[in-house]
Structure 1
């Protein structure tokens, strides 16, 4: 067979950091799904914030963002989840 079709859209690296709270992964997933973004890789962890020792959520993902979704819209949707959520998006070339 021909196998799966090649994925379309930009390959984007996402780094999220913010205060940990229940449902944060679900909320991030919903924002991605609403924009038809495919998650190719996802790692998340909870550590301690350097100064306060409060639980700190970190996620690193590789996304496939369709041409219909702009990175600005994606960033705005993720940042709207929580004011203190740091969102870093970087397009991977190639």
Structure 2
């Protein structure tokens, strides 16, 4: 029987990090399933899901912990839980753009959490506005919300945040917007 793990990885950004992870996983009959990895501020950061035979799990955990001593690669491994089936969720895409300032993600995530909305995917960027050079912050992602969420209240709250922080927030429906969780 296979077990599923989610790994979070942090290392100095240098060649061979992914190869060291892939070799360690393969050496324990693991299968690399899904990942997101990125270079941020001189660091390599990532998350990935793997499947590994249950009898290989202890040895794999040990090998992953040894990567830090040998290669400077920090790995935190967490076994996944079985997905709970519950009420249908509606997926929406969101986009935020405006002048950069502290607290934007805090305000946005608090609004989502207050409506029992799960933040499934979040990508943020900080760049310069072309016409002024001022810092511009963008965020986009996918949220999953119960189908009974009061959309009028949610939009009122997001509009209040937009006005307070001077940002634009848009919600839109991606394809296949209802999924079973």
The number of residues matched between the two structures is 93
8 A contact 1:44–1:59 mirrored in 2 = yes
Matched, 1:86 2:168: yes
Q: Gaps spanning 5+ residues in structure 2: where?
A: 1-81, 177-181
| Aligned residues of 1:79 and 1:85 also touching (Cα < 8 A) | no
Q: Greater relative contact order: 1 or 2 (C-alpha under 8 angstroms, separation 6 or more)?
A: 1
Q: Please list the CA deviations of residues 40-88 of structure 1 after superposition, one character each: whole Å capped at 9, or x if unmatched.
A: 1001111111212111110011000112224443232122113231111
The match for 1:68 is 148
TM-score, structure 1 length as denominator?
A: 0.84
Does the alignment pair 1:5 with 2:87? no
Range that drifts further, 74-83 or 60-69 = 74-83
SS class of match (2:124): strand
Q: For 1:37 and 1:79, how far apart are their aligned partners in 2?
A: 17
* TM-align CA RMSD: 1.9
Partner of 2:96: 16
Bigger helix share: 2
User: How far apart are the structure 2 equivalents of 1:85 and 1:38?
Assistant: 21
TM-score using structure 2 length: 0.47
The structure with more radius of gyration: 2
Which stretches in structure 1 are left out of the alignment for 5+ residues? none
How far the C-alpha of 1:6 sits from its partner, in A, is 4.1
